[in-house]
């Protein structure tokens, strides 16, 4: 139907199985989040606001905090790199690998590495790069894209995974989740030990100490920081918090908002290369900061999106996400946060993603659950305004033409006449008429009876 | 090149915000974060830790024979004992059909079904065991075995809250807070333990 926005069309055509699994998993996560926040704290809303303010302060003073973090990282023995674009970041990582003649990398889950399409880049240069998060590993085997920030294979079921494992020689078909997990454990353990380089993202970086905080439930980041001689931390420039004590606040909020846990199973703090008498772990620690448009976002009306800590709570609560799944957003970051961020990233083109901010009912639930209180509905509205001013074609998809309506509204006599004839509509078979906007409405709803003109009548007769 | 460009771009952005419009850094006190951690909990931090560690599917052992039962479940295998806890563990493991090792061979990480290392700290509030670089002789020994046991003794610092523990990280290069066994829910949201790290996370106090 002509009136569909791209995301509506995606949701309409999505497999019922995918829709059911996205809906039930995201709803379950939302319920767990609520329970863990309300039993953990008497005033969780105050913490959310506090966390939002600290992050907002940090990005508004990012030059100072970044300088401080870099100085501390370098004093701790890390080598710091900066990358303006995904291409720069990929080249930097390739350069690090080549400098030590490395051919294999083991990766922990990192959304920034998805943003720069690191795996494809390294493979193109003949290097192996293996995802070690179970979900990301399955995504990589399928040559697929993650569809959620925290649970990348929310769109897949066990039968699909079993088929993938069989196809890639990881054993005969078996769709028992425990067997799937054990097979991955065995296979990836060898990969950890073979790889010369480990790569992780960063959940937070404390400017005060240069300490990187990384969380995983599976233990894959721990392996990537223990089994290899060279470690790379890849992160966006906005990942900073001012003080170590702030880590306690954000770690509490992140685990609860993402998975409903009080604390993620492995919460680790990486401060420097390994100590001299420690046999395991990196002798070289590299930290790669990616910009990719973030510094431009910082200067404009969307800067508060840089507070985001990638918990995925706004995805889980969003009625549009639940109905359409992450792939409908056609980008690395799905859901409400993706609808704001994707059009702005330098590696994306604004016109291509200008429809995403329309993929929201503006119900406000995303703002209510956001652990850093990002005003997502407001940012979505700003995008809509920007798109309208710039005449972005994609942003107008699914919007019925309103020219005739505007004429009507600006001519009182015409308006009055139309109201009078409007009543006649109640006797016409409107739902059978081949007018797409009306059909789109009557397809799933009943058109209410036309009752126009009453206000004018009342207004005329009232005593002043 | 990238570095100066990025800094320049960030400076341009931050300087475009008028000073009076900038958000000040809010300060917060420990109490703001601990509202559900009631004062009576502080009375016996070990008991609180125990409850919460068990709640995240960790195991707590306070009885020598229970510990020995676990060791006996893997007859004929290698038992890794960190040199830092050897004195306490060796007498308990002696005479069992186990090869006690004080070095962890990274070429054969799967040869050790059980390892015992020192708990540098525990956190009561979250049911967390802390391992630190300078109190763990081999990182992989605390990660690769299916069963990882941490010994709590007088060297173990007991923290009431997560904030207390984070305030005491000092300049240790690598600290891990362990809150239960390694786990995933990636496949259809079903909880499976022992993904890459230990499937059994045990805290031993004898």
Q: What is the pLDDT of residues B143-196, one digit of tens each?
A: 999 999 999 999 999 999 999 999 999 999 999 999 999 999 999 999 999 999
A126 and A182 co-located in one domain: yes
What does the pLDDT read at residue A6?
87
Cα distance from A344 to chain B (closest Cα, Å)?
15
Out of A360, A375, A399, a domain closes at A399
Residues A159 and A112 in one domain: yes
Neighbours of B102 (CB within 10 A): 15
Report the chain B residue with the minimal C-alpha distance to residue A269: B175
Q: B9: which residues sit within 8 A by CB, 6+ positions away?
A: A291, A295, A296, A299
Name the residue of chain B whose CA is nearest to A157's CA.
Answer: B188
Query: CB pairs below 8 Å between A and B: how many?
Result: 251
DSSP-assigned beta bridge partners for residue A211: A206
Same domain as A418, residue A308: no
Q: How many domains, chain A? A: 2
- Complex confidence, ipTM: 0.96
* Identity of the residue in B36, B127, B138 whose CB atom sits nearest the CB atom of A279: B138
Residue at which a domain ends, from A381, A399, A417:
A399
Domains and CATH numbers, chain B: 44-204 (3.40.50.10420)
A32 lies in the same domain as A143: yes
Give Cα B86 distance to the centre of its chain.
19
A448 to chain B, minimum CA–CA distance in Å? 42
Q: Identify whether residues A312 and A390 lie together within a single domain.
A: yes
Same domain, A216 and A68: yes
Cα separation, A191 vs A22, whole angstroms: 30
Domain boundary among A399, A423, A441: A399
Judge if A252 and A350 occupy the same domain.
yes
Both A328 and A366 in one domain: the answer is yes
Same domain, A329 and A420: no
Domain check: are A289 and A393 in the same one?
yes
Residue with structure tokens 């959310």? Answer: A48
Q: Which parts of chain B sit beneath pLDDT 50?
A: none
**Which mean pLDDT values do the consecutive 10-residue runs of chain A (464 residues) have?**
75 88 91 88 92 98 98 98 98 98 97 97 98 97 95 93 97 97 97 98 98 98 96 98 97 96 97 96 98 96 98 96 94 97 94 94 96 98 96 85 86 86 81 78 80 83 80
Main-chain dihedrals φ then ψ at residue A84, nearest 5 degrees: -75, -40
Is B144 in the A-facing interface, judged by CB distances under 8 Å?
yes
Closest among B25, B20, B15, B29 to A57, alpha carbons compared? B25
Q: How far is CA B198 from the centre of its chain?
A: 11
User: Which pLDDT score is estimated for A1?
Assistant: 46
CATH code for position A195: 3.40.50.10420
A82 contacts chain B (CB < 8 A): yes
| Cβ–Cβ contact A378 with B under 8 A | no
A414/A387 same-domain check: no
Q: Are residues A425 and A359 in the same domain?
A: no
Q: Which domain holds residue A208?
A: 1-399
- For chain B positions 26-65, those within 8 Å of chain A (CB to CB) are 26, 28, 32-33, 35-36, 52, 56
Contact between chains at A265 and B178 (C-beta distance less than 8 A): yes
| DSSP one-letter string for A88-108 | HHHHHHHHHHHHTT--EEEE-
Nearest CB partner across the interface for A298, out of B10, B137, B162: B10
Q: With an 8 Å Cβ cutoff, is A56 touching chain B? A: yes
């Amino acid at each position: 139907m002509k009136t569909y926005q791209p995301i509506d069309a995606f949701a309409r055509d999505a497999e019922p199985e995918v829709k059911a699994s996205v809906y039930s998993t995201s709803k379950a996560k939302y319920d767990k989040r609520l329970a863990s926040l309300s039993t953990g704290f008497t005033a969780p809303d105050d913490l959310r606001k506090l966390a939002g303010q600290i992050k907002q302060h940090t990005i508004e003073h990012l030059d100072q905090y970044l300088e401080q973090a870099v100085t501390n990282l370098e004093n701790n023995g890390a080598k710091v790199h900066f990358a303006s674009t995904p291409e720069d970041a990929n080249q930097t990582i390739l350069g690090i690998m080549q400098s030590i003649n490395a051919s294999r990398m083991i990766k922990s889950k990192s959304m920034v590495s998805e943003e720069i399409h690191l795996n494809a880049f390294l493979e193109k240069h003949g290097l192996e790069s293996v995802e070690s998060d179970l979900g990301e590993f399955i995504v990589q085997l399928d040559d697929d894209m993650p569809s959620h920030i925290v649970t990348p294979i929310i769109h897949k079921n066990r039968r699909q995974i079993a088929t993938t494992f069989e196809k890639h020689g990881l054993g005969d078909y078996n769709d028992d989740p425990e067997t799937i997990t054990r097979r991955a454990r065995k296979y990836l353990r060898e990969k950890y030990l073979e790889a010369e380089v480990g790569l992780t993202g960063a959940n937070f970086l404390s400017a005060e100490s240069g300490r990187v905080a990384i969380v995983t439930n599976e233990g894959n980041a721990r392996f990537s920081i223990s089994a290899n001689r060279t470690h790379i931390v890849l992160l966006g420039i906005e990942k900073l918090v001012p003080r170590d004590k702030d880590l306690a606040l954000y770690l509490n909020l992140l685990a609860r908002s993402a998975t409903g846990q009080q604390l993620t199973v492995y919460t680790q703090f990486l401060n420097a290369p390994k100590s001299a008498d420690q046999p395991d772990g990196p002798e070289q620690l590299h930290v790669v900061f990616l910009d990719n448009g973030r510094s431009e976002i910082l200067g404009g009306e969307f800067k508060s999106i840089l507070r985001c800590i990638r918990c995925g709570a706004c995805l889980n609560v969003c009625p549009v996400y639940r109905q359409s799944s992450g792939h409908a957003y056609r980008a690395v970051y799905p859901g409400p946060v993706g609808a704001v961020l994707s059009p702005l990233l330098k590696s994306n083109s604004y016109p291509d993603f200008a429809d995403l901010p329309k993929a929201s009912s503006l119900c406000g639930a995303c703002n209510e659950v956001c652990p850093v209180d990002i005003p997502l509905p407001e940012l979505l509205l700003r995008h809509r305004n920007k798109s309208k001013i710039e005449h972005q074609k994609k942003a107008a998809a699914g919007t019925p033409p309103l020219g005739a309506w505007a004429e009507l509204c600006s001519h009182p006599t015409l308006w009055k006449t139309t109201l009078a004839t409007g009543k006649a509509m109640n006797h016409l078979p409107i739902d059978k008429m081949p007018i797409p906007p009306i059909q789109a409405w009557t397809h799933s709803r009943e058109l209410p009876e036309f009752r126009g003109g009453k206000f004018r009548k009342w207004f005329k007769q009232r005593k002043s | 090149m990238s570095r100066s460009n990025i800094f320049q771009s960030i400076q341009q952005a931050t300087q475009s915000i008028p000073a009076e419009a900038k958000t000040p850094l809010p300060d917060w006190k420990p109490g703001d974060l601990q509202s559900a951690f009631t004062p009576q909990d502080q009375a016996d931090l070990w008991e609180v830790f125990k409850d919460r560690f068990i709640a995240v599917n960790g195991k707590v052992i306070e009885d020598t024979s229970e510990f020995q039962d676990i060791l006996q479940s893997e007859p004929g295998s290698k038992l890794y004992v960190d040199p830092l806890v050897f004195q306490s563990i060796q007498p308990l493991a002696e005479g069992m059909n186990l090869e006690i090792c004080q070095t962890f061979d990274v070429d054969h990480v799967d040869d050790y079904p059980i390892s015992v290392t020192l708990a540098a700290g525990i956190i009561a509030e979250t049911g967390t065991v802390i391992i630190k670089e300078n109190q763990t002789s081999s990182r992989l020994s605390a990660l690769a075995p299916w069963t990882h046991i941490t010994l709590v003794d007088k060297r173990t610092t007991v923290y009431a809250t997560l904030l207390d523990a984070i305030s005491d990280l000092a300049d240790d290069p690598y600290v891990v807070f362990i809150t239960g066994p390694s786990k995933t829910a990636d496949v259809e949201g079903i909880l499976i333990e022992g993904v890459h790290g230990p499937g059994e996370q045990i805290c031993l106090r004898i």
